[in-house]
Structure 1
Amino acid sequence: MRVLSSLLLALAAGASPALLPRVDAPAPFNSSLFKDLNVSRGLNYHYYAVPADTGKPTLLFLHGFPSTSYDWHHQVAFFQDKGYGLLVPDMLGYGGTSKPLDPQLYVSSLVTRDIIDILDAENIEQAVVVAHDWGSKTASRLANYFPERFLSYAFLAVGYITPTFFATPFEENLNLDTTKTITDWSPLGALEAFITNDTRIPPVDYVTPEERAIQMEAIRQGGLAAPLNWYKIARGTLEGQDDQGIPQENALIHSPVFFGAALRDYISVSAPIFVAGALVSSNSTVTIREYNSGHWVQLALPDEVNGDLLQWIGGLGLGLDA
């Protein structure tokens, strides 16, 4: 996640907000279940909503960069067939959701309020969060600001991000990493050269050409100017200042935590760090699963991830039949 920053900021000048009409994701998504909500601060959120069967919890899926709700298509297919409620938003800056260009609008205290507005609109008192990449930051802040609204938290590839994480300047955090990325991507700034030199690598085999086309079209329509704000607030002081409003008593997670570590993650290169963080940042049950996968673990190993999440949710002791 963090080592991408140099490339992404270099691309910002050429990125533009969406100008073309939105196209909802195809199957396993049901087009009739997409909704739009004007949240309390006046921004539109586009999201997928499946009502839960009796006795089943609602799962809130939060994607990261540079993606849309379609990142979760394997999980949507798996869990909606089992009767789970689903809330799968396009996060701020992506897909059919508003794409403001002001970085200040992306700080966690505001984005988490948006997510709560969606839960309120769907009459969901409590949900289980499943998050990946920058979605894990939002999930972390939901635990910090609104712990009463969530039953448990699952983090994939990127783990719980503490309230003090962004108090350290971005570049200093990079220097604290003792794990190296693949050779061509370090040190800071080398990834920009990797792209501008037109370096090519083969596509992964777990994403079909059709699936890749769906995500590429979403990026073409939406541009990168808005999504890059997730990085801008982290590189500057906005996120660190915003996190000062987190109640100290909410720094620990008081609900069950799942962390899916991607052991071949060359994006966040922090699986050991996040495993340790999962253990020390919660005073409740922590379940850790390790996957022989890169960063996009929910796409690369959907059967393993879905099975582990199903087992974990079923064992939460919530009186829900998984």
Structure 2
Amino acid sequence: MDPASYSSCVTPRGITYRYLYSPAAAGKPTILFLHGFPSNALECWRHQVDFFVKRNYGVLAPDLLGYGGTDKPTDVAMYAKSLMSADIISIIDKENINSKVYAIGHDWGCALTSGLATFYPSRFAGFAFLALGYLTPNPEFEINSFYEGFKAIAGHECFGYWHFFKEDGADKIIADHMDAFMSILYPQDPKSWLTDMAPRDKLKEWILSDKVTPPPSYLSDKDFDRQKAELLKGGMGGPLCWYKQYATGAVVHDDKLVPKENYVIKQPVFFAATHEDYICVPKVALVTMKDVCPNLTVRDYQTDHWVQLAAPDKVNKDLLEWIESL
């Protein structure tokens, strides 16, 4: 999309969001794309934005809190799902989007998609989750139980790197070793997550060693350098707050606000299962999604975590078929 398609919105709580927006043609729905860590709207969704805009779909893709042209607070409480969900609704209202809206998330964007599904279900026609599944509200959430639950199903530790991300000063360490950080976040060999990111202390060890490997085939050197520069400009303090919401247990307060009748998503749900993703392991997500997403469509991808970049043609085709079948 042309840079002129960027707009901004100050939400009722005073947060400025930057976002890409292209209105829907008559009779077409709007797709809300919610990116994850450590990205922004255009870097994450460039293949999907172009695909759907060319087909006259509405597209709304915000830089989420902590990223890109959006504000970057470092107070963890500002990243509550209820607050960020309300922010997104305020952007939709500012643009007077009256067409059907489908929310599509990737990575932490799936957590926000989960928030929209539970706090504002009537505003959406469907929800799609790429790599990470629907996060059912859990007022009894306890981080160590979360770690162990994933490990029991996946067969290996998945979130050991969270221990580093919640450390004081982790943002500065990452900024000082950004090439190594980007190298492991976007690995050439997906199995490096199994050995050098998922186990506790391994990510910090990788970063401090300044180990660098070539980028994966779906990222050019220019892509890599552009995203690195964007993160260095904005800092890592904000992006890490998404993890701290969970790693510190702050999410419990938010989940207590969700009406129990909203735990089950009544709208159609799409899940992209990434079978070379050794952190967001598909079978873990499906354990709960099969019970709380009664109208569930699952599509399988032999890719790593970054499915929308690694297999854009298949992702676009599958999402289009899913939406047009509804």
The TM-score, its normalising length taken from structure 1, stands at 0.86
Correspondence for 2:227:
215
| SS across alignment from 1:160 | coil
Determine if contact 1:257/1:278 at 8 Å carries over to the other structure.
Answer: no
Letter in 1 for 2:218: Y
Post-superposition offset of 1:186: 4.6
1:240-259 equivalences under 5 Å are 240-259=252-271
Does residue 1:201 correspond to 2:213, yes or no? yes
Post-superposition offset of 1:280: 1.1
Does residue 1:158 correspond to 2:132, yes or no? yes
- CA offsets 1:281-322 (integer angstroms, 9 cap, x no match): 123x21100100000000000000000001001001xxxxxx
Does residue 1:67 correspond to 2:39, yes or no? yes
Greater RCO structure (CA 8 Å; 6+ sep): 1
| SS across alignment from 2:246 | helix
Query: Which deviates the most, 77-86 or 274-283?
Result: 274-283
Post-superposition offset of 1:191: 1.8
Letter in 1 for 2:95: E
Does residue 1:295 correspond to 2:305, yes or no? yes
| SS across alignment from 1:183 | helix
Select 1:274's aligned residue among 271, 285, 297.
285
| SS across alignment from 1:245 | coil
Letter in 2 for 1:303: D
Query: Which deviates the most, 153-162 or 119-128?
Result: 119-128
Correspondence for 1:48:
20
Does residue 1:309 correspond to 2:319, yes or no? yes
| CA distance in structure 1 between the partners assigned to 2:101 and 2:132 by the alignment | 20
Q: Could you say if the C-alpha distance between residues 298 and 38 of structure 1 is closer, same or farther in structure 2, counting changes exceeding 3 Å?
A: same
Does residue 1:131 correspond to 2:105, yes or no? yes
- CA offsets 1:27-64 (integer angstroms, 9 cap, x no match): xx211110010001001000000000111100000001
Post-superposition offset of 1:246: 0.3
Letter in 1 for 2:260: Q
Does residue 1:175 correspond to 2:160, yes or no? no
| CA distance in structure 2 between the partners assigned to 1:170 and 1:192 by the alignment | 20
Superposition RMSD on alpha carbons, in Å?
1.3
Post-superposition offset of 1:162: 0.4
| CA distance in structure 1 between the partners assigned to 2:109 and 2:123 by the alignment | 17
How many residues are matched? Answer: 285
Post-superposition offset of 1:264: 0.5
Letter in 1 for 2:34: L
Determine if contact 1:131/1:139 at 8 Å carries over to the other structure.
Answer: yes
| CA distance in structure 2 between the partners assigned to 1:304 and 1:75 by the alignment | 11
| SS across alignment from 1:154 | strand
Give structure 2 stretches of 5+ with no counterpart: 159-193
Identity, in percent, stands at 41
Select 2:85's aligned residue among 97, 112, 117.
112
| CA distance in structure 1 between the partners assigned to 2:121 and 2:198 by the alignment | 37
| SS across alignment from 2:256 | helix
Does residue 1:149 correspond to 2:123, yes or no? yes
Letter in 2 for 1:45: Y
1:179-190 equivalences under 5 Å are 179=154, 180=156, 182-190=194-202
- CA offsets 1:234-266 (integer angstroms, 9 cap, x no match): 111211111100011100001000000100012
| CA distance in structure 1 between the partners assigned to 2:221 and 2:110 by the alignment | 27
Post-superposition offset of 1:277: 2.5
Correspondence for 1:233:
245
Determine if contact 2:215/2:221 at 8 Å carries over to the other structure.
Answer: no
Letter in 2 for 1:50: S
- CA offsets 1:72-122 (integer angstroms, 9 cap, x no match): 000011110000000000000000000111110100110000000011011
Correspondence for 1:89:
62
| SS across alignment from 1:272 | helix
| CA distance in structure 2 between the partners assigned to 1:194 and 1:233 by the alignment | 24
